[in-house]
Chain A
Amino acid sequence: MEMFDDGWGLSLIVFLPLAGAGLILLLPKAQEGLIKLVGLAFALLSFAASVVAILRFDFGAAEQFQFGTDLSWISAIGSRYHIGIDGISLPLLVLSTLMTVLAIVYSLNHWPEPHNPKAFLVLLLLLATGMNGTFVALDLVLFFIFFELVLLPMYFMIGIWGDRAKIRLPGFRREVETRLYASIKFFLFTLFGSAFMLLGFLALYFKSDPHTFDMVALAEAGQMGLFDGTFGAWVFAALFIGFAVKVPMWPLHTWLPDAHTAAPTVGSVLLAAILLKLGSYGFIRISLPILPQQAQDWAPIIAVLAVIAIIYGALACLAQTDLKRLIAFSSVGHMGFVMLGISTLTDVGINAAVIGMVAHGIITGMLFFLAGSMQHRYHTRDMARLGGNMKTLPIIGGLMAFTAMASLGLPGLAGFWGEFMALLASFNPLDGLSLVVFRTAMVVGAVGTVLTAGYMLWMLQKVNLGEPSEEWAGKDLHDADKFELAAWVPLVLGIVAIGVYPKIVFGATNDAVTELVRRAFGG
């Protein structure tokens, strides 16, 4: 167990999926059963390791990086294999390993076409390594590598197993397959942001003395005022673009609806549940501590963009006819609340952001699972043709209603705390931030919750209620099977548990966030 604490534990969590992917590559394609078993086993091992991390985590010192190690890696540029988790990364890391397991469990009975479990699992596990790694990396180069690593598998997932319907883009003459358009858009959009992010990282490296990529050291330097002034403003802008694309913040969000809609079910789930969190996590872990002064300058802008995203996402949802696209746009709004929380630069706001991220991961992940299962059965996502789902598929319909309620921020379920606490924080932002901007943001954000309720209820009415359409009569639409339930029950329990007892998340994050805010902003 000592070895676990000395960095081996986190390395296991990060690299077990990669090892699994490597092992699967060695197996012959015909041995499907064995391939699935190996994939599931390695994901489970990674999850088990993260559970051990929870059990061994010292919650009394949640503000410190634990289980860490700091090894020489690329000595030429002083980049080190520096990993560790604190109270902020722990919930996200566990969420990531859990969602990977659930995604594989769900997949066992729902392989997307074209049928190729071997390739699919390899990509999924590769993705898991990227996601887990991003949450443990404490070195900018390491962070960047993991951050970019997730792009590749997701690109192939969307590109290979995505929606094959053809769409005509405005301004383009030829029709293109949704999956191709979406995957390329996703990849290029994110890469566009990453390029700026990398520039920002390099700028920090060359400005620091001695040159370092170490986040902890950079944060200390930043809090001493090393990066203040014009230099910091440019660096913050560069990092902002990198992270804002990933979050995504309005108006850099348009890759998201396409990617979510086109991706296979499991891809949408992981995209919504984990990938979006990488951006907001980057803000909390990198932008705020390293560039506290610029964060204060940028905070009102972020708040305004966040509020626009909340309203804009909700209104866009009201206009959707495609179920998955609606859920995708709802992510824009929910991540708006997360960013609103972050922009307040207070302990309450950032706590709200982290619980909002976890809750959104569980809830929207669940919604995409359900939407995927419905598409699997009805072969359509068009809400006008669905309807009466409660009659045809009572279990899926009931879960859909439950999850939609959680998504609209019903108190007592997970989604509530992030929204409420973000609004609370924006009533009382960090000293020196414009009260007018943030209090207006609070009111507008609160109105946003109304619109959120509006589109969720409207979606439920269209999809779940009423009499089922004639075209499904006599069709054998089996309700949720045991693989689906196995993947969903943990999520449902999570939604209720976090809703009733938010200390599950706040207990880990609170000290870490308070310390982060105190160091960066003295508040």
Chain B
Amino acid sequence: MSPTLALFALQAHEPGHLSDGGVLAEFAWLIPLVPLVLMVAIVFVGKRLPYKGWELAEAAMLFVAVYGVTLLIMNASGGIYHEGSVEIARIGAYTIEWGWVVDGLSIMMYSVVGVVGLAVFTYSKGYMKGDVRYTWFFAAFTLFAGAMLVLVSAANMIQLLVGWELVGLASYLLIGHYWEDHSNNAAAIKAFFTNKIADVGLVIGIIIIGVTVGSFRFNDVLTAVFDGDSALAQVAFWAGLALFIGAMGKSAQFPFHVWLPDAMAGPTPVSSLMHAATMVTAGVYLLGRMFPFYQSDVFAADVKTIIIVIGAITLFAMGLIALVQDDIKKVLAYSTLSQLGYMTVAMGAGAYTAGLFHLFTHAFFKGLLFLAAGSVIHAVHSNNMSDMGGLRKPMPWTYKTFLVGSLALAGIFPLAGFWSKDEILASISYDAGHGGGTIASVVLWIAIAGAFVTAFYMARAVYLTFFGEYKGHAHPHESPKIMTYPLIGLAALSIVAGFVNVPGVYTGFTEWLAARPFSMGDHHAESINFALAAIGLLVALAGIAAGTRLWRKDAATQAERDRFRIPVLYPVLEHKYYIDDLYRVALVDPIRGPVARFVNWTNTYVIDAVVNAFGGLSMVLAKGVYRGVDQRGIDLAINAVAGATGEAGEALRHTTTGRVQQYAGALFAGAVLLVLGLLIFT
């Protein structure tokens, strides 16, 4: 109940300064549609094309990238807001629509999906060369792009849900791309299933909000928030929590994080675009879309505490696991979890811009890191860092770009990660002083500690991969140009992306995101908080230094590395806090095993037994009735009559001699008898 937040409700306004974006915004529905249509084309004609369908996928991403960046530039120069809808059904009092929204938030996402997607798709042409299902890979990948764009262009919650689950489907398909191996399938199912559990929250949240407001449009919901709709206020906490549970699933927040590391079973470009840059940020995007709902005190502001705590747990706990992973992709996966934790923390701290800014920069450098890791994996045919080492010489471009990505991730000035992480730290610090209270203060320290961990595990990854002796068996070589050029492009973006939002100097990004019909009511720093920036930078440098000391081959003795294996902590980290095991033992195995069997057993032996018992009982009864009553009672009498008749006939038929004279005699005798009778009795 801080005065700032109370004031915020008064700031609602219909900004007249936004342009409608003209024809480009009007046709923004093409952004999701083009990839989806091309996806269908790839499925049906892809194999017959010269590049086996890759060209269509690349064309789709090129289209999205150009469209998105054009919108971004237009938005930067004035601010765009446009929303269009097509009704696809009317059911009772509700209208179901297909909508597209072109505002600061969605334009930012279009650009990220387009640009990172373009890089990843280009890279994939080299990486996936000779793959068993090359065309199908691009079809599914394009499906993902389309679905992701459906999600971010959604003007209403139902469309968001459609995109939300379709990206989940694409994720399932691509994680299980090599489905001959059942361990990949298990990972794919785990991803889909975990998300589906969290989606229960999303669905329930959407239903609660949609029914209460009477509309599924984000605009109507947020208008209700600004109007102080009391009915919505009553359910706001539960609805907000439910939506956040959905976001936790997609953004892999603790305790739904388990699917993301396993999702690394998919091809590396998939990990890059989906499981680092875009798809997993959908949860953060949703929080951003619904931001004022969480920001207002009478609505779901209480959920923010939960959000910030969940985010903090994720950012720190998952960062620690990254320290003990040998699989380079898993290191990056846990790092992604940790960074998503940062974004979530920012959202929980009421920092709309900071959270999404980190989403923006993270997309570039984490996408880059995965692609560079993929380049290494491509060269050494192994995911494990124990099979790598000393690769900086044979793979100079991969090394350089990976290094740029690592430094950006670690938050070293002046790379992109520095600016966005600093913005988050500043926001938490602000929140700690303005309503966030002790929790925010604690989270601030966790976030700073997290920065140390981040730098530490990235240093470890860099040293183990690129320094020391080569320990693998393949003959590493630099990847082809089609793979290195995207790396270089993304590296360049990782360097410069932070400059779009330097507090006090150029805050373009803040304005881009603010191009929405509602005031987000978030706080963003007017100038750089030099103290925090210095702390953040120092901590990161300390992390790198520690990593260097421990992992640089020349500097580290085996004893020192063993000391790193802290007795209790190390096994706990290695087993990922036993959370996966807990889920398996407590949830998945019982349901799939005993519970399901029990239900099936009841079906056969209880319900069906009753049915069969009716059947059996009626059989027994029927036999009793048949033998006792029918056969021995009624039928006996009937048969007795029939038998007697037969016997009598048998006896009497002998009178039919065929001799006419006997008949005549009998006739005569009869006549005589009759006459005698007549005489006697009358």
Contacts and interface: CB of A to CB of B under 8 A. Distances in A.
A and B touch in the complex (CB under 8 A): yes
B600 A319 contact: yes
Contact of A506 (B91, B176, B188, B200): B91
A347 B613 contact: no
B596 to A, nearest CB: 4
The B contact surface, by secondary structure, is helix
Nearest to A455: B596
A457 B197 contact: no
A465 B200 contact: no
A317 B616 CA distance: 27
B91 A348 contact: yes
Interface in B541-560: none
A427 B179 contact: no
Given A427-B211, A466-B185, A319 B166 contact: no
A421 B91 CA distance: 9
B182 interface: yes
A319 B596 contact: yes
Given A171-B613, A172-B612, A458-B592, A427 B208 contact: yes
B96 interface: yes
A501 interface: yes
Contacts of B611: 185, 189, 254-255
Contacts of A405: 169
Nearest to A313: B599
Interface string A307-318: 000001001111
Interface string A399-439: 00000010000111000110011011001100000000000
A467 interface: yes
B635 to A, nearest CB: 26
A351 B600 CA distance: 32
A320 B601 CA distance: 11
A510 interface: yes
Given A170-B604, A442-B207, A465-B185, A312 B91 contact: no
A382 B181 CA distance: 20
Contacts of B199: 449-450
A423 B592 CA distance: 25
A71 interface: no
A172 B605 contact: no
B193 A457 contact: yes
B210 interface: yes
Given A318-B596, A410-B169, A442-B204, A465 B176 contact: yes
Nearest to B603: A316
B392 interface: no
A241 to B, nearest CB: 14
A177 B676 CA distance: 74
B572 interface: no
Contacts of A77: none
Interface residues of A, number: 64
B130 interface: no
A503 interface: yes
A453 B196 contact: yes
A461 interface: yes
Contacts of B192: 453, 457
Contacts of A257: 603
B597 A319 contact: yes
Interface in A171-198: 171-172, 185, 188-189
Contacts of B204: 423, 427, 442-443, 446
B469 interface: no
Contacts of B599: 312, 315-316, 319
B88 interface: yes
Nearest to A458: B189
A208 interface: no
Contacts of A502: 88-89, 91, 96
Given A316-B599, A450-B197, A466-B182, A348 B608 contact: no
Nearest to A251: B607
Given A171-B613, A427-B207, A453-B193, A254 B608 contact: yes
B596 A412 contact: no
Given A412-B162, A466-B182, A446 B203 contact: yes
A134 interface: no
A416 B170 CA distance: 17
Contacts of A500: 88
Contacts of B567: none
A277 to B, nearest CB: 19
A494 interface: no
B388 to A, nearest CB: 30
Interface string B81-103: 00000011111111010000000
Contacts of B89: 417, 501-503, 506-507, 510
A510 B600 CA distance: 38
B161 interface: yes
Interface string B177-192: 0011110011011001
A417 B599 CA distance: 28
Contacts of B196: 449-450, 453-454
Contacts of A169: 612
A100 interface: no
B176 A315 contact: no
A351 B189 contact: no
A373 to B, nearest CB: 21
A315 B591 CA distance: 8
B200 to A, nearest CB: 4
Contacts of A465: 176, 179-180, 182, 185
A390 interface: yes
A257 B599 CA distance: 14
A61 interface: no
Contacts of B188: 457
A25 interface: no
B595 interface: yes
Contact of A316 (B197, B203, B596): B596
B182 to A, nearest CB: 5
B634 interface: no
A69 interface: no
Given A453-B196, A457-B189, A171 B88 contact: no
Contacts of A417: 89
Contacts of A320: 600
A502 B615 CA distance: 44
Nearest to A332: B603
Contacts of A510: 89-92
Given A185-B611, A423-B207, A410 B165 contact: yes
A212 interface: no
B10 interface: no
Contacts of A443: 200, 204
Contacts of A501: 88-89
B672 interface: no
Contacts of A388: 180
Contacts of B597: 319
Contacts of B612: 169-172
Interface string A34-65: 00000000000000000000000000000000
B1 interface: no
Given A318-B591, A319-B596, A411-B166, A347 B179 contact: no
25 contacts: A170-B609, A171-B616, A172-B612, A254-B603, A315-B600, A318-B592, A351-B92, A411-B165, A417-B89, A442-B207, A446-B200, A449-B203, A453-B196, A457-B188, A457-B189, A461-B182, A461-B189, A465-B176, A465-B182, A466-B179, A466-B181, A466-B185, A502-B88, A502-B96, A510-B91
Interface of B: 87-94, 96, 158, 161-162, 164-166, 169, 172, 176, 179-182, 185-186, 188-189, 192-193, 196-197, 199-200, 203-204, 207-208, 210-211, 591-592, 595-597, 599-600, 603-605, 607-609, 611-613, 615-616
Leading 8 A-B pairs by shortest Cβ distance: A318-B596, A319-B600, A347-B92, A411-B162, A315-B599, A319-B596, A465-B179, A348-B92
Given A423-B203, A454-B592, 8 more contacts: A319-B596, A320-B600, A348-B93, A416-B162, A417-B89, A457-B192, A461-B189, A503-B90
